[in-house]
Chains A and B, each alone.
Chain A
Amino acid sequence: MHIAEGFLPPVHAAAWTAAAAPFVVHGVASLTRAVRADPDAKLLLGASGAFCFVLSALKIPSVTGSCSHPTGVGLGAVLFRPPVMAALGTITLLFQALLLAHGGLTTLGANVFSMAVVGPWVGYAAYRAVRALTARMSESASLGAGVFAAAFAASLSTYTVTSLQLALAFPDAAGGVGGAFVKFASIFSITQVPLSVIEGLVTVVIVRLLTTVGRDQLLRLGVLRGSGPAQPATSGEAV
């Protein structure tokens, strides 16, 4: 759910850009370090960014009968970790604004904050929590539950933060920011809640298939536990 160009007042657009900036700068620094340390990582980062863009451009069926797009940030956070996703997500959102007209340039900061910062961190936290809780289950079941939680939580938190951003910009005359949040969240929940569930299911199918056809990549990214316990990859290792 991208906030369209010009929808936010300039002060709010600037404030959300400032809020997202430290995360993006940290992500860009991680990415730059990874490229300097290993020039080969540049091409894998390019492939990862292109994958994130295409993932978010896929059309998935919505309950309302129409089609909508997944955020893809949950899967991205599990595969590449949230700091790298802050940088890759910002690049993806910039391309979406200029190539697909999804989102805008002045609202890029607000969209980055919800989709490239909050979404990946919430999704990754959900993934780690579920993986820890299901540590005694089989690897396949634990991974499936973890990635579903990641995709669902990331998508839902993205939509919640977007509703909050709109509520702060346009508080309700009677209910204030709280009332406005209820209004925006109610309107967008018609498509976004079912979409989060469907995105979670699609993500589970993706990761299940990857455990057979892309096992090496998942081991390298630290997603599969392999023979030992999962080691969280650093930003550089993540790509």
Chain B
Amino acid sequence: MLTIDAEAYRSPWRTVHPAVKGVLFGGLLVCALVLPAWPGAALAGAVALAFGLGPARVPPRRLLRTAAAPLAFIATGAVALLVTVGGPEAPVAWDPQGAGRAAEIVGRASAALTCQLLFAFTTPLAEVLPRLTRIGLPPALVEVVALIYRMLFVALDTARRIGSAQAGRLGYANRRNQVRSLGALGAALFVRSYDRAARLQRGLECRGYTGALTVLVDQAPLRAAPVAAAAVPAVLVAAVTLSRGVWT
């Protein structure tokens, strides 16, 4: 399983309705994006982390490891803001406003990323997908999305097994072998994915498949009180940030 999905299934907040977690982390994400970066984004990120590492018991190391790749993108993108090009004095020069601008973007994006990751770390995707029809998406599309979700774990496992077998035969010993092995992996994966889909089709037809793939979803009732309570942290962050702006 993928780290995020595995942690979402282990999360003590797994049973909480996805809409409640969506309002909590989504509200804080909006705060991180639209409020002044200082202290708005910092507060939003800190509050989200407090909920995530506290009651939701998200493992901090796994959260950090998962965040490494997007944080690298944020850092690389921010580096570009430190310099200015095409100025009258030099083709490339230090931008005196750049550091502040880069810090603002890094703070804002890091806080928003934290909110997104904490939602993903506490909510299995399988519990969100069947509910997508309620927001107006076509049922046929939602079924395809759910099928892709189910099939991708088998495909990932297949790719991992093929990759291990290739590595055992020195398939990744040099660059030439790497390209050949990756190509062979992709081709084998394509053929096996189609073969598996065909076999799944036959299996479903034998069980009276009519074209609808219905699955059981935990019918967690959505109550107004938890949703309203989930909105409180975002409202407080917005109030504190805006009042600070008024008083300073």
**Stretch of A114-122, A128-136, A153-161, A177-185 on the interface side:** A177-185
| Whole-angstrom CA separation of A153 from B184 in the bound complex | 22
| Whole-angstrom CA separation of A97 from B88 in the bound complex | 41
Complex interface: chain A residues within 8 A of B125 (CB): 95, 98-99
Complex interface: chain A residues within 8 A of B230 (CB): none
Find B32's partner among A6, A32, A50, A172 (CB 8 Å cutoff). A6
Specify the main secondary structure of chain B where it touches its partner: helix
Complex interface: chain B residues within 8 A of A170 (CB): 80-81, 101, 105
Q: Mark B23-34, 1 if CB is under 8 A from A, else 0.
A: 000000100111
| Whole-angstrom CA separation of A206 from B190 in the bound complex | 9
In the complex, A140 has a CB within 8 A of chain B = no
B70 touching A102 by the CB < 8 A rule? yes
* Residues of chain A in range 69-113 having any CB-CB distance to chain B below 8 Å: 75, 87-88, 91-92, 94-95, 97-106
B86 touching A43 by the CB < 8 A rule? no
**Stretch of B9-17, B136-144, B214-222, B231-239 on the interface side:** B136-144
A47 touching B141 by the CB < 8 A rule? no
| Whole-angstrom CA separation of A78 from B102 in the bound complex | 39
B29 touching A6 by the CB < 8 A rule? yes
Interchain nearest-CB distance for A115 vs B (Å): 14
In the complex, B175 has a CB within 8 A of chain A = yes
A166 touching B120 by the CB < 8 A rule? no
Complex interface: chain B residues within 8 A of A217 (CB): 190-191, 194
Find A209's partner among B88, B140, B152, B187 (CB 8 Å cutoff). B187
Complex interface: chain B residues within 8 A of A46 (CB): 144, 147-148, 150-151, 197
In the complex, B154 has a CB within 8 A of chain A = yes
Complex interface: chain A residues within 8 A of B178 (CB): 60-61
Q: Mark B174-209, 1 if CB is under 8 A from A, else 0.
A: 010011101111111111011011101100100000
B196 touching A47 by the CB < 8 A rule? yes
Complex interface: chain A residues within 8 A of B191 (CB): 210, 213-214, 217
B182 touching A205 by the CB < 8 A rule? yes
The 6 A-B pairs of least Cβ separation, nearest first, read: A205-B183, A6-B112, A46-B147, A175-B86, A49-B148, A209-B187
